[in-house]
Amino acid sequence: MPPPPPSWFPFRQANPQARLRLFCFPYAGGGASIYNTWSAALPPTVELVSVQPPGRERRILEKPVHDIARLVEALEPEMRPLLDKPFVLMGYSMGTRIALALTQRWQARGEPLPLGLVVAAGGAPHMQRMSRGNLNDKDFIELLRAYEGTPAELFAHKELMEMVLPTLRADFALADSVLPATPVRVPIVAYGGLEDSHVSIADLERWRELTTGEFRARHFAGKHFFLRTERVPLLEALREDLTRWAPELAS
C-alpha cells in the first residue's frame, strides 16, 4: 500500500465542542510539537491545530520549502476543511510571516478572515531586512548560536547539523521574506521579549501598520525564545486575547 500522505497537523485532536480553532505556526527550526502542551492552558472550547511544515519532525525526509508563496499554496488546501468554525492564527518568529501571508491572501480574494492574528517574536514583515541566505555554513551556525534556540547537542554533532542545515536555511529564507505592506481587516496583537536582541520593541510596534483594526502590543520578560522561559504569562495573555475576540469562549 502507498504510504499515507504527510500530515500538516500531526497532533491535532478533533474537538466537536470547539467554538474556535487556533492555528499555530512554528519558529525557524521548530515543528508542531512546540505547541503540544498548550491545549491544557486554553479554554476547553478552543481546538489547537499546530502546523507542521515539511523538513522537520515527522516530515524530516521531505524537502523544506524556501519560498513563502509556495508554502502558503501547499498549506492552504489542507487548512480549508478546518475553516468551518471561527479561527485565529498565531505565529512565532518565522511563523508570523506565514500567518500574515495567509490572511493577506484570503483578504485579497474576499474570503473569510481570522478573528485575530497573534504575532510573537517577529519584526513587521513589510520592512526590508538583510537576507541571511548567503551566509556560509560557519557564519550561519554562529547566527544560530546567537539566537540561543538550538539545542547545544546539535552543535556538537557535525553529521546531525549537516542533516538539519537545509531545513534551517529554508526557514530563515521564510523568516527573511518581505510581505506587502497591505493592512488586513483583522485585529493584531504582537508579543515581544523585553530582552530580545533580534526583534526590538520598535520593530514589534510596526505591526500596527499592518491592520485597519485594533492593535495591541504585549511585552514579556526574556529573550527571543520567551515562549519557553515565560510560558505561563504568555499563555495567560493568549487566553485573554482569544476570549476578547470570541467572548463565547468564557461561557
pLDDT at 148: 77
**Dist. CA 33–CA 210, nearest whole Å:** 29
Active site residue 93: yes
pLDDT at 138: 87
Residue 79 in grid coordinates: 487548512
> Within a domain: residue 2?
no
Containing domain of residue 201, as a range?
20-250
Task: Report the domain count for the chain.
Answer: 1
Task: Give residue-wise pLDDT tens across range 9-33.
Answer: 999 999 999 999 999 999 999 999 9
Residue 217 in grid coordinates: 502590543
> Within a domain: residue 202?
yes
> Within a domain: residue 107?
yes
Mean pLDDT across 56-76? 95
Band the pLDDT of 160: cuts 50, 70, 90: confident
Band the pLDDT of 5: cuts 50, 70, 90: low
Interior angle at CA 106, CA 102 and CA 107, nearest 5: 115
Residue 144 in grid coordinates: 544560530
> Within a domain: residue 69?
yes
Q: Measure CA 20 to chain center.
A: 18
> Within a domain: residue 1?
no
Measure the CA dihedral 139/144/147/153, to 10°.
Answer: -130
Q: Which residue has 549537516 as its cell numbers?
A: 162
Task: Give residue-wise pLDDT tens across range 113-122.
Answer: 999 999 999 9
Q: CATH number of the domain that 205 lies in?
A: 3.40.50.1820
> Within a domain: residue 233?
yes
**pTM of the full structure:** 0.94
Contact 95, 71 (CB under 8 A): no
> Within a domain: residue 224?
yes
Task: Give residue-wise pLDDT tens across range 96-150.
Answer: 999 999 999 999 999 999 999 999 999 999 987 777 877 888 888 888 888 877 7
Mean pLDDT across 78-91? 97
Q: Which of 93, 177, 200, 251 is catalytic?
A: 93
SS3 state at 87: strand
Band the pLDDT of 192: cuts 50, 70, 90: very high
Band the pLDDT of 4: cuts 50, 70, 90: low
Task: Give residue-wise pLDDT tens across range 42-52.
Answer: 999 999 999 99
Residue 165 in grid coordinates: 542545515
**Dist. CA 101–CA 99, nearest whole Å:** 6
Contact 64, 166 (CB under 8 A): yes
Residue 198 in grid coordinates: 533580534
> Within a domain: residue 225?
yes
pLDDT at 154: 77
Task: Give residue-wise pLDDT tens across range 196-245.
Answer: 999 999 999 999 999 999 999 999 999 999 999 999 999 999 999 999 99
